[in-house]
Amino acid sequence: PWDVNVTERYDSGFDVRHRVVLLANYELPFFRSASGLVHGFLADWQINTAAFYQTGLTYTVTNGTARSNTGGTDRPNQVGNPTLSNPTIAEWFDITAFAAQPINTAGNTGSNTLHGPPQRRIDLSLFKNITLTNATRLQLRAEAFNVTNTPSFANPNAALGTAGFGSVTSTGSAISRQVQLAAKLLF
């Protein structure tokens, strides 16, 4: 019989334990008092950065095929410690720590007990402000997203019994390096 007093506690699917964000803007002070072409080309520059690092999102190890006869995805038995001291993209967790539970029984693996790869990115931009009138200026912008082109990987394949179980196979919604040039009229 089903025990209605059973309580399962687990981390939220969007739990991020640690997140560090750095935002910095610096208006370069050089050549402000210059005049003519020197001021026009070398003065009024601004550099900006936005960087972040966060720990990985939680995920649950499941069975590749349903075994508990409950009509949905179920979880296997955890038979060991899945945490690796040096996880790699090819083996993010110890796959031998999980085994399929007997047919028509529930597995003992908890929900959201593992955390995926960290996410990180650095964006940089360089602005040049050109005064047109007292109330109007033109801003020339060069912006680069993910300057270091560092991949941020998605959670690993966590379906026991499927190809690639325990390995990371995608970058999820991470972007590769992108550069854009723009002009902005401020009035």
Distance CA 36, CA 27 (A): 20
In degrees, rounded to 5, the angle at the alpha carbon of residue 156 between the alpha carbons of residues 154 and 162 is 140
Write down the pLDDT at residue 160.
95
63: its two tokens: 């069975």
Write down the pLDDT at residue 3.
52
Distance CA 37, CA 86 (A): 56
Distance CA 133, CA 157 (A): 58
Task: Please report the sign of the dihedral spanned by the C-alpha atoms of residue 41, residue 43, residue 44, residue 49.
Answer: positive
Write down the pLDDT at residue 6.
53
Write down the pLDDT at residue 7.
61
Write down the pLDDT at residue 1.
47
What is the phi/psi pair of residue 37, to 5°? -65, -35
Task: Average pLDDT across each block of 10 residues of the chain; the chain has 187 residues. List them in order.
Answer: 59 88 93 81 91 94 88 89 95 96 90 93 94 91 95 94 94 89 94
Distance CA 152, CA 11 (A): 21
Nearest to 126 by CA among 138, 136, 140: 140
Distance CA 107, CA 103 (A): 10
